[in-house]
């Protein structure tokens, strides 16, 4: 655990020094708040709910975390510190989990920064705080899974651009596969399979206040699977020519 902690602290310090992090965080919050208050028109409606606000989070959080992960392993490769990291007495899991932990921490911090928006909405109307708690749980589970997917892509990416493009592609495929399947007219068992692996419907269930253990398990299993995959990719990069 000490080594994982070492990587976690190092990665947080590196991210702290990255201006891109602040810019991406500010954009994430600004877009979410703008959508909620202006486009959705929270104040003009009769229903007091922050569900539309959380509904806007998946694509925004996916982009934010993909930008953060671009700054991890691909950045290490770009500036040569990859060689420092890979020659320290760390086990593959230490490096991957420590880096994952740092990005997840920043993502959690950013989700926490949405509290003023939600509390502000609570002042304007009567919110169901039980549902709000469920919505935050959904956002945290989503952040955990999205981070694992982006770390999986970033470990093997040769450049930051590929890491970003790859992460966005994989994330949006997993998020919106069910909607896409419906659009193209997929039906029957195939549609059910696609719906089962898609992330957005499960996230929507959670923010509606339906706490189904199958949905929670889905996020936990997907996170663990992508993290394990990231460790395997990390190990196999030792074969690479430089």
Partner 1 sequence: METAHSPREAAVSMQKLERRFASGAGVGPIEAELHYGEVIGLLGPNGAGKSTLMRLMTGFLTPGAGSVRIAGLVPATCGVAPAAAGAWQSGAAARMYLGYAPEDAPLYAELTPREQLTFVAEARDMPRRAAAEAAQRALERAGAGSVADRLNGTLSKGNRSRVNIAQALVGDPRIVLLDEPTGGLDPAQRQLFYELIQELGKELCVLISTHVLGDATAICTRLLVLRDGRLVADGGVNEIVRAGQREQLLVKIRSGAKEAPLEHDLARALGVPVVADSAKARESGVDAAFRIDVASTVREHGQVDTAGGGAAAGRDDAGAAMSGSEVLQERVFDWAVEHGYRIVGMEQVAGDLGEVFRRLTVERAPGE
Kindly list the residues in this chain that would bind partner 1 in the complex (CB under 8 A): 2-3, 5-7, 9-10, 13-14, 16-18, 79-84, 86-94, 232, 235-242
Least Å distance, CB 169 to partner 1, is 24
Least Å distance, CB 79 to partner 1, is 6
Nearer to partner 1, 3 or 191 (CB): 3
Nearer to partner 1, 81 or 187 (CB): 81
Least Å distance, CB 141 to partner 1, is 28
What is the distance of C-alpha 196 from the center of its chain? 19
Nearer to partner 1, 202 or 233 (CB): 233
* Orientation angle between helical segments 129-156 and 160-183, nearest 10 degrees: 130
The pair of structure tokens assigned to 242 is 């430089």
**Separation in Å, CA 122 to CA 34, 41, 51, 64, 118:** 17, 15, 12, 26, 6
DSSP state of 87: T
Least Å distance, CB 166 to partner 1, is 20
What is the distance of C-alpha 185 from the center of its chain? 29
Nearer to partner 1, 6 or 220 (CB): 6
**Separation in Å, CA 116 to CA 24, 111, 122, 228:** 18, 11, 10, 35
């Amino acid at each position: 655990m000490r080594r994982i902690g070492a990587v976690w602290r190092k990665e947080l310090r590196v991210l702290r020094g990255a201006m891109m992090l602040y810019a991406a965080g500010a954009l994430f919050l600004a877009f979410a708040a703008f959508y909620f208050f202006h486009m959705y028109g929270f104040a003009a409606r009769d229903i007091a709910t922050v569900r539309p606000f959380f509904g806007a989070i998946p694509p925004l959080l996916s982009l934010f975390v993909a930008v953060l992960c671009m700054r991890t392993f691909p950045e290490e490769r770009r500036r040569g510190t990859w060689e420092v990291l890979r020659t320290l007495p760390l086990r593959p899991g230490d490096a991957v989990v420590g880096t994952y932990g740092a990005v997840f921490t920043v993502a959690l911090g950013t989700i926490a920064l949405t509290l003023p928006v939600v509390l502000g909405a609570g002042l304007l109307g009567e919110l169901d705080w039980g549902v709000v708690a469920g919505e935050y749980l959904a956002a945290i589970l989503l952040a955990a899974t999205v981070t694992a997917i982006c770390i999986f892509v970033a470990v093997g990416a040769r450049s930051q651009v590929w890491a970003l493009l790859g992460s966005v592609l994989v994330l949006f495929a997993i998020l919106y596969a069910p909607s896409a399947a419906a659009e193209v007219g997929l039906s029957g068992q195939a549609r059910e399979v696609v719906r089962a692996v898609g992330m957005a419907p499960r996230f929507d269930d959670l923010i509606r206040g339906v706490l189904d253990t199958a949905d929670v398990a889905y996020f936990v299993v997907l996170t663990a699977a992508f993290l394990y995959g990231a460790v395997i990719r990390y190990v196999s990069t030792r074969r690479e020519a430089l």
